[in-house]
Chain A
Amino acid sequence: MFLGNLGSLRYFLPEIAVTATILLLVVLHVASNRRTSAAPALLSLLGVGTAILLVGVSPAGGGKSIFEGMAAYDGFAVFFKGLTSLATVVVILMSMDSTELAGRSQAEYYIFLLATLLGMFLLSSATDIVMVYLSLELVSIPSYLLAGYLKGKEDSVEAAMKYVVYGATASGVMIYGFSLLFGLTGSTQIAEIGRSLVAGKATLPMLLAAVMAAVGFGYKIAAVPFHMWSPDVYEGAPTPATAFFSIGPKAAGFAVLVRFYYTVFASPTPGTGIWHLTTSVDWPLLFAVLSALTMTVGNLVAVKQNNVKRLLAYSSIAHAGYMLMGFVLLSSAGIEAILFYLVVYLFMNLGAFYVVVLVGNGTKGEDIADFSGLGSRAPFAAVSLAVFLFALTGIPPFSGFIGKLYLFAEVIHRGVYWLAVVAALNSVVSLYYYARIVKVMFLEEPKDTAALPVPAVTRAMLVLLVAPTLILGVYWEPVARIASNSVKMLAF
């Protein structure tokens, strides 16, 4: 039933490609440490590109349990590997464009980035609580380093410090919860744990375990009340790293969240696409409340922000709240909605950050006021940012609307009306702060009227991010089908 170590390797090729690239980067770093070299970035692109290719051609044939039950190889994991590598490619290109990172050691930066990617690969496929913990740390530790990469910049160092302290606490609590599960069942395999837990017995330890695990995962996806780190980290970290945090680790966090809870505390009712709870722990209600809190706090606090990166940090908290709605519904359509949302979120959120990098390069500032008059200083970038922001708001005909539609639809389908109403009202609030940026870009006259240069490569990248945001708003059937197939192949 489990594949042995050697037999598993053919299902592990993307990870091997990323690992090999990391090792090559280390060698490159030792051999030549010229700080202006583009070689590390290009090598990373090549490595991640290879990984995407390998994800694309990876052998089909249903779910497999690989490495003696440590990880799963299934459509769900493949989906997340593809998604996170795609995000990494965009972030690498964004990093090459950013002047923030110029003059700092390049190879190390990309080593950390790729190590995080490797962690995300493992996190989205982990099926053993030890593996879950280790891969979570593999995502976290390079992230701390990335956040503090601007050595000497106070914000950046503070961000890294905060990130470490919060991260260590959260994962400590989580592993305590895991130890309870191990104590109750005597197994570290999540499928085995799920089978052993019996409703009505040991309710309190089970509740504790469910809540404590939620702390660790909630921290990774920045759900309220475990979100405190994210605004500071997002503001202090180099902008490309912030963009990366806002989608990569968040997506991997959702992957493990779904896999863990839907295996340990729920089990599918065959042929219906619906899960039922196996224990008396009502974690969906817990997460439904967290979801409502997360989106409300994220949106309300975002209204007050003047720093665009901080604003986008709160906005990404709010988006985690929307996505959590899909998680609490115990239906495959709910999970599909999350996957679909992550795809559209990838493009619109990275796109927004791309323009922030561009403006940061030109104005050396990242306050809303620095965007004033962007509509006349760099019309193309300004229009792109407007598209991304309205997509984030969820207004048709942009892709964000379709993402929200799928989430709202399933919430209503499953009859959780109060959550749908909260989310709908939140959408209206979010318009207010997204529109603030649009307002200064188009409705206000710039203080400095000089045109902001937009290099041709950046222009091309923006086109590549705007295009899916527009196209998926009008025709999204293929992506919906991919999301649906990935969930069907969710084998635990």
Chain B
Amino acid sequence: MGFIDNHILSLMTFLPVLGAAAILCVPRGKDDVIRWIAAAASFLPLVLSVKLLYAFDRSVAGVNVAGQFQFVEHYSWIPSINVEYFLGADGISMPMLILTALLSFLAVIGSFGIEKKVKGYMALFLLLETGMMGVFASLDFFLFYVFWEVMLLPMYFLIGIWGGPRKEYAAIKFFLYTLAGSVLMLLVLLALYFNTTNPETGGHTFNLLHYMAQSTHNGWLKGFDVRILLFLGLFIGFAIKVPLFPFHTWLPDAHVEAPTAISVILAGVLLKMGTYGLMRISFPIFPDVTRWFAVPMAVIGVINIVYGALCAMAQSDLKKMVAYSSVSHMGFVMLGMAALTPTGMVGGAMQMFSHGLITAMLFFLVGVVYDRAHHRQIDGFGGLGAVVPVYTAFVSFAFFASLGLPGLSGFIAEQMVFLGSFDVFRTIVVIAALGIIFVAAFHLWALQRVFLGPLNPKYAALEEINAREVFCLAPLGIIVMYIGVWPMPVISLMNSSLVHLVDLVKAVI
């Protein structure tokens, strides 16, 4: 077991891609073999993530302290330019690693219904999982960037080949937006590389922890104007991924056209990478600019909340509504983070985790009805509650979780965000709190139009949700409920790291 314990993060990252390689060797036509290999290749990281959860020491912070990272793997990769293979986990990355492992496995199971080019689909999906795990495990900026970009290609094909009617447009739009963000990140990465020195070797470095120690910065990098530029470069790169207003326009297209399981991954994991990047990279490296930019970030967060909710309300397509609800919910993350208080920060991170679960449920559920009715027009249904009661129960549960019903995880997260940010930006928080009304409104209104009222006779024989679909939804529902009642296990997972992060950002340099 020594090997597994020493390389647990590497295994979580690369087992999926090994599975992809195995799938490519399976002869054409054996679709079931391919599906089960994919399931196994995504199940193993999930098992490892549970092991990770039990082995994780919740008392140490990590963030910028090299000695406090856990499950560390640190090797030299390209010595001539000091690229390192540096993986490690702390309270910021732990929830994300677990979320990624869980959603990836469920998404593979949810994709068992795919009949077209199964081999390519599963291979690309597993490659995508490797990219996601790698992003959350990397502590070397170069490595982080490579994993970040590795996700683009599979995502392009997964949307472009298996997507809906406007898949080609959606796929290239997603690709171009994200690449535009990443080249900005690349320039910042290079600027950081050349203007910092590794205190141990005296050479340049890609190690994120060295960047966080401000003493490694040279004179140029200490200039506040320069720091603002670099921070904004990174911020735009991450904001496109979140996506924050006004960079969100790729999201409705990509989420709506993507196949169900890919929408789940997009909304459940990929969006979180933007805010994760801010926490992992931007905030600790540029604490001074973070404080300077806190109010604009809060304002952007509120715009996301209100604007996203209003857009969601205006949609006639159920999936598009869910997509815009993500815009709104990610605004809470941004607001909580911008407050720079421990409660706000934990609330934001909690919202990342909770939204990952809830939105995954929502997209799965939209996929269920689309598979049967072949459309998603909210006004095209009516009275489904009488025909498919179990499905209706699941949708109601997910909708209530999404609108922040007390007792479910979304409520905890949003309350912590409000508590943490109210003292810092009162007006902004009041507006955000009013935004909750819109959030509740579009959920309830949609629920009413689809499930209540007179039955649309076209769907009198609609098939009830099946066992495989319940298998994807039930674990998510249980966790949402569990956290809603007893959030401590998740909070304690990230608390030390996030409190330390807030201290780090608040400390004057």
Using a CB–CB distance below 8 Å, which chain A residues touch chain B? 390, 395-397, 401, 405, 408-409, 412-413, 420-421, 424-425, 427-428, 431-432, 435, 439, 442-443, 475-477, 480-481, 484
Contact = CB atoms under 8 A, between A and B. Distances in A.
A396 B83 CA distance: 14
Given A390-B153, A431-B175, A475-B78, A420 B187 contact: yes
B193 interface: yes
A397 B146 contact: yes
Given A431-B176, A432-B176, A442-B160, A395 B183 contact: no
A481 B80 contact: yes
Contacts of B172: 432, 435, 439
Considering the complex of A and B, which 9 residue pairs feature the smallest CB-CB distances, nearest first?
A424-B183, A396-B146, A412-B190, A396-B149, A443-B160, A413-B194, A428-B180, A409-B190, A428-B179
B499 interface: no
Contact of A443 (B79, B168, B179, B180): B168
A219 to B, nearest CB: 30
Interface string B216-242: 000000000000000000000000000
- Where chain B touches its partner, the secondary structure class is helix
17 contacts: A395-B149, A395-B152, A395-B153, A396-B145, A397-B149, A401-B149, A408-B186, A408-B187, A413-B194, A424-B186, A424-B187, A428-B176, A428-B179, A428-B183, A439-B171, A439-B172, A480-B81
Contacts of B175: 431, 435
Contacts of B156: 435
B138 to A, nearest CB: 12
A443 B186 contact: no
Contacts of A413: 190, 194
Contacts of B481: none
A377 B2 CA distance: 47
Given A396-B149, A412-B187, A435-B156, A442 B80 contact: no
Nearest to A432: B176
- Where chain A touches its partner, the secondary structure class is helix
B160 A476 contact: no
A443 B171 contact: yes
A442 B161 contact: yes
B441 interface: no
Nearest to B83: A477
A445 to B, nearest CB: 11
Interface string B169-189: 001100110011001101100
A484 B157 CA distance: 37
B150 interface: yes
B329 interface: no
Contact of B191 (A412, A432, A475, A480): A412
B167 interface: yes
Given A395-B152, A435-B156, 6 more contacts: A397-B146, A409-B194, A425-B183, A439-B168, A477-B78, A480-B81
Contacts of B150: 396-397
B170 to A, nearest CB: 11
A443 B167 contact: yes
Nearest to A395: B149
A439 B160 contact: yes
Contacts of A401: 149
Contacts of B191: 412
Contacts of B193: 409
Interface string B84-105: 0000000000000000000000
Contacts of A412: 187, 190-191, 194
Contacts of B167: 443
Given A408-B186, A412-B190, A480 B179 contact: no
Nearest to A439: B168
A272 to B, nearest CB: 16
A439 to B, nearest CB: 6
A427 B179 contact: yes
B78 A442 contact: no
A476 B150 CA distance: 18
A408 B176 contact: no
Nearest to A477: B78
Interface string B235-273: 000000000000000000000000000000000000000
Contacts of A435: 156, 172, 175
A427 B183 contact: yes
Nearest to B180: A428
B56 to A, nearest CB: 29
A92 to B, nearest CB: 31
B144 to A, nearest CB: 11
Contacts of B161: 442-443
Contact of B179 (A405, A408, A431, A476): A431
Nearest to B145: A396
Contacts of B80: 477, 480-481, 484
Q: Which of A421, A435, A480 has the most CB of B within 10 A?
A: A435
Contacts of A476: 78
Contacts of A475: 77-78
Nearest to A376: B117
Q: Which of A390, A397, A412 has the most CB of B within 10 A?
A: A412
A412 B226 CA distance: 13
A484 B79 CA distance: 14
Contacts of A405: 186, 190
A442 B159 CA distance: 12
A395 B154 CA distance: 12
Nearest to B28: A379
B441 to A, nearest CB: 38
A431 B80 CA distance: 29
A477 B78 CA distance: 6
B153 A421 contact: no
A245 B79 CA distance: 35
B149 to A, nearest CB: 4
Contacts of A396: 145-146, 149-150
A424 B180 CA distance: 8
A348 to B, nearest CB: 15
A171 to B, nearest CB: 37
A480 B78 CA distance: 10
Nearest to B160: A443
A414 to B, nearest CB: 9
Contacts of B176: 428, 431-432
Contacts of A481: 80
B145 to A, nearest CB: 7
Contacts of B146: 396-397
A408 B190 contact: yes
A396 B131 CA distance: 11
A169 B95 CA distance: 66
Contacts of A484: 80
Contacts of A395: 149, 152-153, 179
A425 B184 CA distance: 9
Nearest to A402: B78
Contacts of A425: 180, 183
A473 to B, nearest CB: 9
A130 B160 CA distance: 55
A421 B152 CA distance: 21
Interface in B191-214: 191, 193-194
B153 to A, nearest CB: 6
A303 B78 CA distance: 35
A484 B81 CA distance: 12
A240 to B, nearest CB: 29
A420 B161 CA distance: 34
Nearest to A404: B186
A460 B412 CA distance: 58
Contacts of B194: 409, 412-413
A131 B145 CA distance: 46
Contacts of A431: 175-176, 179
Contacts of B190: 405, 408-409, 412-413, 420
Nearest to A424: B183
Contacts of B79: 477
A161 to B, nearest CB: 38
Interface in B47-105: 77-81
